[in-house]
Each structure stands twice: as C-alpha cells, then as structure tokens.
Structure 1
C-alpha cells in the first residue's frame, strides 16, 4: 500500500500512529507528497481529486481518504480495537475523534489565516475562542479519556495537541488545561507517538 505522506501533516500522523499501534507501519510505502491549499498537486489528484493528504492507495489500485476512513480501514485489516465495534464505547470514541479532528481543522484554518498579508481579525478571534473552548472541554474529560481503552479518539486528540505544540508554540494551553496537559504528557510517551512527531524536514 502507498500512503501520500508528509512529516508535517497532523492527519498523516493520525494514520501513522494507528499503523504503528496495529503493527502495519512496515506495510505502508510512504510517498512524500506536497499538499498546499492554493496549489493543487496534479500527481496527488490522480489518486484523490481533493488534492489532500493522507491518501492511501491500496494494493488493488483503489484509494481511500481521509484520515478517519484510512484509520478505520487499517484497524479492520489488523483486527484491531482502535474503533470499538458498538455500544456507548463506540460513540464515545467517535465523538472524541470528531472533537480532535475538529480542533485540528480550526487550528489549520487559524494558521493559514495568520499567514495572510492581511489576516481577518474577526476570524482569528473566533478561531481562538473555539480552540480554547475545545481545550477546556477536553480538560474536563481528561480523566474519562485516561480511564477509557486506548482508541481512535485518543489518537485524534493527541495529534491535535501535537500540532498545537508544533505550530502554536507560544500558546500556553497547558496553563489553561492542566489535566489535559498531564494526560497528553503520558500519551506522548507511547512509542507510536514518539515515532511520529512532526518535523519541518
């Protein structure tokens, strides 16, 4: 399987964390791929018309995207337990994944906006308020996340917090969310997270 990949992408990191947890990282041929919002990549678009990563090209030539779909595919392939099969545990895991992915979405939009020549102040303020609200919610749920079996929600939230450190280093989110900070410190010691830290390389 070929994975359109970048060491900077938090959504690619989600896939790679899952691959490590499931023992599938050796099955993925990583293809370094540039995906920039303002410059569609014609090579990538042959596999994904949205020109987004991660995109997984299967051995039979089929393709899967986005990270949520790819992660669930890998979990099923390996017979894993990152996605609970049913009941309250499944909905909680999917909810946490949605919260982590949603936080990532707004952080990426925030970063893109602040890089513009004339950032829209109202948008920056709105994104800041939403990000802090998400972090406060996660801080309230840190004990529940700690008690729950490791799953896709932990992966998504961990990758969002890792991106926050990578691209928003000046933001003192740990001071506002100390329980979440402690949870993340423990999560970051997992081999799958240590092996997939974002780099500018």
Structure 2
C-alpha cells in the first residue's frame, strides 16, 4: 500500500499514528505529494478526486481517502479495536470533534497563505477559531473521562488535533483555562507513536 501525504497535515498524522499503534507502519510506503487547495498534485487527484490528503492506494481495490475512512480500514485490517463496539458512538463523535478542530485550524492557515493579503478576512479567521475554541471547551468539560479510558480512535484524533494547534497556532495558547485537557495531552504525547510522528521533532 502507498500513503499519499504532505507536510505536517494533522489528518496525515492521525493515519501515521494509527499505523504505528496497529503495527502496520511497515506495510505502507510513504509518498509525498503537493496538497495545495488551488493546485493539487495530479498524483493526488488520481487517487482522490477532491484533491485532499491523506489517500491510501491499495493494490487490491480503489484508493481510500478521508482520514476517518483510512483509519477505520486500518483498524479493521489489524483487528486492533480502536473503534470499540461498546462505545462506538462516543468514539466516532470524539473523532469528529477532533477532525472539526483540524478542519478549522487548517482553513485558517489556507486563508493566510493562499489569499492575497488585502483579501484575507480576519472575521472569517476568528470565526474558524471560534469553532476550535468551542470544541476545546467541549473536550475539557465533557470528554476527559473518555480520553482517560482505553485507547481508541477518538483519543488519537484529539491528540493529533492538539498537536497541530501547537505546531501552527501556538500563539493562541489553547491550554489556557483547559488544564485537564493540557495534562491529558502532555501524557498522551509520550506514546511512541506520537513521538515518532511529531512534526516539531
């Protein structure tokens, strides 16, 4: 299999962490592509018509894309239990919350990087950060008990989302007022899978 990836994408990192946690990292060749929202790599478009990373090219079927699809496939392939039946809806909702943080955080970067400076909308940027802040508050007030439980995909996704905030939006100081979430993230980041995929390493 081949994983099409680019830069420090938190969605790619989520897949990489999953590969490490399920002992499948050696089964996948890494292929770097260009993932610009205005000029995506032809190789990426061939795998994913939407032109987004990551995409997983399989020898025995069509390429898979969207990190949630890829991670669910990898979990099924390894029978690793990262989507446990006993708490599947909580796990999926937590993963979706984390992905929402990633989406908004990446869109802020795109707004600043790909629009002419005079066209950048600070109102739009703050609107995106509002999504991030509300999701972080929800993690702090509603999800700490789940995050403290057995490893699942919700936890992996949240850790990757928070890691991306550290990497791209450190000035926002997401930890302020969220001590429980900050402590959980610090501990989770000691996992070998997180150390191996740290974009700041």
TM surpasses 0.5 = yes
* Worse-matched range after superposition: 107-116 or 32-41: 107-116
Matches within 5 A, 1:64-143: 64-85=64-85, 87=86, 89-115=87-113, 116=115, 117-118=117-118, 119-143=120-144
Secondary structure of the structure 2 residue equivalent to 1:62:
strand
After superposition, the C-alpha distances for 1:81-137 in whole angstroms (9 at most, x for unaligned) are 11113x4x1000000000000111011111222333132122122122222111111
Q: Which residue of 2 aligns with 1:191?
A: 192
C-alpha distance in structure 2 between counterparts of 1:32 and 1:193, whole Å: 20
Q: Which residue of 2 aligns with 1:172?
A: 173
- How far residue 170 of structure 1 moved from its aligned partner, in angstroms, is 1.1
Whether the 8 Å CA contact 1:10–1:198 is kept in 2: the answer is no
Q: Indicate the RMSD between aligned Cα atoms, in angstroms.
A: 1.5
Could you tell me which runs of 5 or more consecutive residues in structure 2 were left unpaired when the two chains were aligned: none
- How far residue 4 of structure 1 moved from its aligned partner, in angstroms, is 0.3
C-alpha distance in structure 2 between counterparts of 1:194 and 1:47, whole Å: 29
C-alpha distance in structure 2 between counterparts of 1:172 and 1:182, whole Å: 14
- How far residue 29 of structure 1 moved from its aligned partner, in angstroms, is 0.4
Matches within 5 A, 1:30-45: 30-45=30-45
Secondary structure of the structure 2 residue equivalent to 1:81:
coil
Secondary structure of the structure 1 residue equivalent to 2:166:
helix
TM-score if structure 1 supplies the norm length?
A: 0.93
What is the number of residues matched between the two proteins? 198
Secondary structure of the structure 2 residue equivalent to 1:176:
coil
After superposition, the C-alpha distances for 1:9-38 in whole angstroms (9 at most, x for unaligned) are 111101010000000000010011111101
Q: Which residue of 2 aligns with 1:3?
A: 3
Q: Which residue of 2 aligns with 1:14?
A: 14
* Worse-matched range after superposition: 62-71 or 122-131: 122-131
